[in-house]
Structure 1
Amino acid sequence: MKPLFYLSLLALSSFAFANSPLPNHRHIAITGYGETSVKPDIAILHLSVEHTDKKSAEAKAEVDKRFNALLKGLKKFDIKESDIVASRIATSPRYEYSQQQRKQLHVGYSANRTIKVTVNDLNLLSDVMDLALSVEVNQIQHLEMASSKEEELQQKAVELAIENAKSNGAALANAFGASIGKVYSIDAQNHEQIRHYSNMEKMGNARMISADMGSVSPGTYLQDELTFKATINVVFDIKSKS
């Protein structure tokens, strides 16, 4: 059954290279996979502040007030200005549909601003979220987990993919009484990062709901793993064993 398995592997490898130029001489096309995982050590909060008022200036002033309160509070956690990114305030007319008059009525102006805060110490994450809610940030839109070693981990995944391609190529060639020779071509463009943090998002939303109810309780945030993946397509020359 072993030869059949290797023939199937060869067929799959050839399919992966269907759109790539292949040499006319004897060769073997191999796809190598690499994967490495790590616990996140950085949290990125995507926040939204919004307010509607009768006048555009008043709506903007309220959003400014909440944003400034957030900045002031973040200083207590030694979060640098470089770790805070905020969009410009956007204002727009606010309309609501009147069932009685059967038309849209102008009810005021809405002002909003989005803010991204990078928390480099996960021990502070709960307190930073509490601060955001206390200054009336309307929504924690998204909680993104990351790693300070992202480039190193992605490179490690690529290295593992290379070793996997070499190992698979050597094993497949050996099964047919041959060995791999020089590399004809390499395609290592397929990199992927998978962020497993759905549980953290759910907990963040739950805290916001409890805050609205006036019953915020401290919680522990689950640190799911980040997975870095790499795929490398390699074409080796094949040479007969002497």
Structure 2
Amino acid sequence: MEILMVGCGKMGGAMLRRWLDEVPARFTAVNRTPSAIPDGAQHAGSPEALDGRRFDAIIIAVKPQQIAEIMPAYTPFLKEGGCLISIAAGFSIASIQRELGDNPVIRIMPNLPALIGRSVNGLYADPACTQAHRDLATQLAETTGTAIWVDTEDEIDRITAIAGSGSGYVFEIARSYTAAAEEMGFAPDTARALVLETLSGAIEMARQSDLSLEELRNSVMSKKGTTEAGINALRRDGWLDQLLLETTGAAYQRAVELR
């Protein structure tokens, strides 16, 4: 199988590294900088470099704002019966087909932990896609983490707001948490270790537990203890719930705007 990836930034590169190890296909990646292409993939700097080759699937890994400018030069290299697979956030199937013709399209919404095989991938296929197209998309997604097929394209944009952008929220929370630890007098390296090990331990405990997150939270708290004092400050006037609603809502709204 021949697969072309157009664009190879952080997300595309993270996914391609996993695919090269585990997917039985020959990958060619288009990027202006050859050094950005992982070892094992062929490099192409322009449509001319493809020399008339045809591909079973073309992966759209450029920014949504670049699709109309960059992708039309590459879609003629799609084999008859092939499909387009987009990992671009927000850009709808209707918009892709408007710009690139009436080809079958699957959208995959990954997140950055694809780099370590822990991505959450939402998938949606337009009705023109065959089972073979869906099987390929499932294989690509499961190689980088989990594959979650959804019934509507709007669900992909909601997954974008929760999971696609979610690792960024977690990194920002961890950054702020680490800064608080430093303010308490810990050296930066110690503060980082304290925070990251606390977060990873708590998440892994939640993954292995049948208790609800509320029950797990309560299991840490004792009446009038230190955790209760901290939780009361964290939850005052419901501001944390509201902040996360606004955060995910803003990301979803941006995904809708990009359609």
TM-score by structure 2 length?
A: 0.19
Structure number with the higher strand fraction is 1
TM-score (norm 1): 0.20
- Higher Cα Rg, which structure: 1
